[in-house]
């Protein structure tokens, strides 16, 4: 057992870009206890993400879910793992389809 770890549990994590919209650049570390840490100036000024930022975030998460599902060995996977990855891919696909759906202002599904 190693004593005296160098990273406490809530240590800031370095980020290669904006933590919200994934804009490339160095915007400082993301600190879970500080709401605007790791955000680009545009996201901080807007106070909320733009549609482009949200679209990019959905695509990134969908790609990560798909990559994790592709890495899963079907022959060795437990039923719980299959269900988890199938659900993650399904949610990612739903999010991508919602991005492509026309915005009609009616709020209906």
Average pLDDT rounded to a whole number, residues 18-44? 77
| pLDDT higher than 80, residue 47 | no
Give yes or no for a contact between 57 and 22, defined as CB atoms under 8 angstroms apart: yes
Residue 95 scores a pLDDT above 60: yes
What does the mean pLDDT of the chain come to? 74
Q: How far apart are CA 92 and CA 60, in angstroms?
A: 10
What is the C-alpha to C-alpha distance for residues 18 and 43, in angstroms, rounded to an integer? 8
Other beta carbons within 10 angstroms of residue 74's beta carbon come to 8
- Which of 10, 90, 18 has its CA nearest to residue 56? 18
Return the percentage of the chain with pLDDT > 90, whole number: 4
Residue 108: Cβ within 10 Å count: 5
């Amino acid at each position: 057992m190693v004593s005296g770890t160098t990273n406490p549990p809530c240590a800031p994590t370095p980020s290669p870009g904006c933590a919200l919209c994934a804009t490339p650049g160095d915007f400082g570390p993301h600190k879970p206890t500080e709401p605007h840490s790791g955000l680009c100036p545009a996201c901080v000024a807007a106070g909320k993400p733009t549609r482009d930022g949200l679209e990019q975030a959905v695509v990134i998460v969908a790609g990560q879910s798909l990559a994790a599902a592709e890495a899963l060995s079907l022959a060795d996977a437990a039923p719980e793992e299959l269900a988890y990855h199938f659900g993650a891919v399904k949610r990612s696909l739903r999010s991508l389809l919602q991005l492509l759906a026309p915005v009609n202002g009616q709020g209906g599904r």
